[in-house]
Amino acid sequence: MSNKQALSRIVKPKFIRGIEDTCTRITGIKDESSIRDIYISDCKIDRQAAYQVSFEGVVFNKVDFNGVKFNSLELTDVRLENCDLSNANFTGAIIHRTEFIDCKLMGINLSDATLQNIYMKNCNVRFALMSFIHMKNAMLLDCIFENSNFQDSSLNKVEIEKCNFRLSQMSGTSLSGMDLTDSNIEGLGLRPEDIRGAIVSPVQAVDLSKLLGLVIKV
């Protein structure tokens, strides 16, 4: 499937007209906060902890979430641009119709999260914890997932293009039907059944043959 076809399938975030005119900054997030229809820019909400926070129809631009802990987080119709979410803890989050563009997500914890209609472009997602996630209808483009953990996850209709999964762990996660030919999967941790049905290049196939115990004679 082409990049264009994949994007046409993903439902994009919906925002109110003129959302840029609502531009503001926030410094504190409280438990059970519900923030809607606003453009948040150039501020820090790092190192905070809150429970059952929801954002709907929100654009974040240059916002620092470094080290936040939001339990039971919900993101719906959200765009994050040039944001820092490094070491954020979003375990069990529900994320729907959300875009991550030019963001830093090193060490983010999205374990047990549910993600649907996701677009992620040019993001640094090294050392991420994404085990037991359920991801459906997603496009991952030009992102770095080196040394990340996707163990025992469900990836349904996820398109991957020019991404780096070097030394990541995907044991228990089926990659069937995914085109990995232009991505780096060097040292990817997998079981033989996880890679069955994936689309790989000849060079990648040689590397992956080790999983099957094959000895290639030249």
- Distance CA(3)–CA(10), nearest Å, equals 11
Min mean pLDDT across 18-27, 71-80, 138-147 is at 18-27
Q: Are 121 and 102 in contact (CB under 8 A)?
A: yes
Residues 6+ apart with CB under 8 A from 29: 45, 48, 50, 53, 68, 70
C-alpha to C-alpha distance for 114 and 194, rounded to whole angstroms: 20
- Could you read off the pLDDT of 136-193 as tens digits, one per residue? 999 999 999 999 999 999 999 999 999 999 999 999 999 999 999 999 999 999 998 9
In the structure encoding, which two tokens stand for residue 104, read together?
Answer: 């830093």
In words, the CATH class of domain 3-174 is mainly beta
Nearest to 46 by CA among 86, 90, 76, 103: 86
Q: Which amino acid is at 105?
A: L
- Strand 114-121 and strand 94-101: the pairing is parallel
